[in-house]
Structure 1
Amino acid sequence: MSTQRLQHLKGHILPENKVISMAGPVSPLSTHVLNVAMGVPGSNVSLSLQRQDTLSDNWSVITTGVTNADGRCPGLITKEMFTSGVYKLRFETQQYWESIGETSFYPYVEIVFTIRDPGQKYHIPLLMSRFSYSTYRGS
């Protein structure tokens, strides 16, 4: 196992390395990108969060972001903006794979989901390799 990977794991395991961020309100929607082929977080993955207009079926971009070193993108949406409806997370996977010197079958991944109770917490992970991906509703 590489030294870099061991240091990354150490940061998750040892309590003295934990840092609690008080930077702002917690988003009711979170995501986590994992490169399961290499066993590392999917860092620097560009993504966008979009909401579908119920009248026209058009998509509106709510926010864009890039995953951090842990494969997360904090602060996707505020509680006030998080309403019932159909949402889409779009991950620019081709750019990610090219940035680490690889090719992939999927140029992007779109995960479309319905929010019926915006008072709940939703977690939508993306587990990916060059030739596959999966997702699930976490909490």
Structure 2
Amino acid sequence: MSRLSTHVLDTAHGRPGAGMGFTLYRLEGEARVKLAEGVTTADGRAPGELLPEASYRPGRYQLVYQVAAYFRAQGVALPEPPFLDEVTLSFGLATDAHYHVPLLVSPFGYTSYRGS
């Protein structure tokens, strides 16, 4: 069972953020250790197990989403540099439970929360 999942909602177009690149890191002191990377599926979700139970441990993590590349691929004209290039969500995993981290994003803003 995965201890972490994510999905992206493209609020500018009112649909799942399909095809957005992302990377998951565990923070160890000042170092970032890459644990996974991928591209969201047609329903905007990370494919497979993002953080399998065997890899889980309490600590600090980051999900980095490739926002500008996604919106450019959708045909959105962005300024150079874009207002949002990458979105980095830093969060903590404290208990041995499932965590869901949604990203609601447009070219000029985003929000996230702990989902279910």
User: Normalising by the residue count of structure 2, what TM-score does the alignment of the two structures yield?
Assistant: 0.92
1:88-127 alignment, distance < 5 Å:
88-102=62-76, 103=78, 104-117=82-95, 119-127=96-104
Partner of 1:82: 56
Q: Which structure has more RCO (C-alpha within 8 Å, separation ≥ 6)?
A: 2
Unpaired runs of at least 5, structure 1: 1-25
1:37 is aligned with what amino acid?
A
2:33 is aligned with what amino acid?
S
SS at match of 1:80: helix
Deviations 1:64-123 (A, max 9, x none): 010000000031111010101100000010110110111252001000001111x21100
Partner of 1:72: 45
* Distance of 2:83 and 2:105 partners within structure 1: 11
SS at match of 2:55: coil
1:68 is aligned with what amino acid?
T
Higher strand content, 1 or 2: 2
* Distance of 1:98 and 1:38 partners within structure 2: 13
2:7 is aligned with what amino acid?
H
User: Normalising by the residue count of structure 1, what TM-score does the alignment of the two structures yield?
Assistant: 0.77
* CA RMSD across the alignment: 1.0
* Distance of 1:94 and 1:122 partners within structure 2: 26
* Distance of 1:51 and 1:110 partners within structure 2: 13
Greater C-alpha Rg: 1
After TM superposition, what 4+ stretches of structure 1 lie above 4 angstroms from structure 2? none
* Distance of 1:73 and 1:53 partners within structure 2: 23
SS at match of 2:18: coil
Shift of 1:28: 1.3
Higher helix content, 1 or 2: 1
Q: Does 1:45 align with 2:23?
A: no
> Identity percentage over the alignment?
38
